[in-house]
Amino acid sequence: MTTTPNFNINNFNDLINQANQIINCGPSCSEENKAQLLKQKYLDAQDNVINAPQELSDATKNYIMYTQGDAGYNEYLDKELEQKADLIISMYKDNFTKEVNNIQSNLKTYKGLEINYNNIIDLYKKYKYENGILENKFKGKTSDILTNDRKTYYKDQSIDKLNGYYYFLLFFYVLIVIIYFLSCIFVNSKVKFSIRVICLLLMIVYPFIINYLLV
Residue 5: the pLDDT is 43
* pLDDT tens per residue, range 108-151: 888 888 888 888 998 888 888 888 888 887 877 777 777 777 78
Q: What percent of the chain has pLDDT over 70?
A: 80
Determine the Cα–Cα distance for residues 141 and 130; give it in Å rounded to an integer.
16
Query: So where are the chain's domains?
Result: 10-214
Residue 100: the pLDDT is 87
pTM of the complete model beyond 0.95: no
Q: What is the mean pLDDT of each run of 10 residues along the chain (215 residues)?
A: 49 65 61 72 69 75 80 84 88 88 85 87 87 81 74 84 87 89 82 84 84 76
Residue 15: the pLDDT is 65
Determine the Cα–Cα distance for residues 11 and 130; give it in Å rounded to an integer.
109
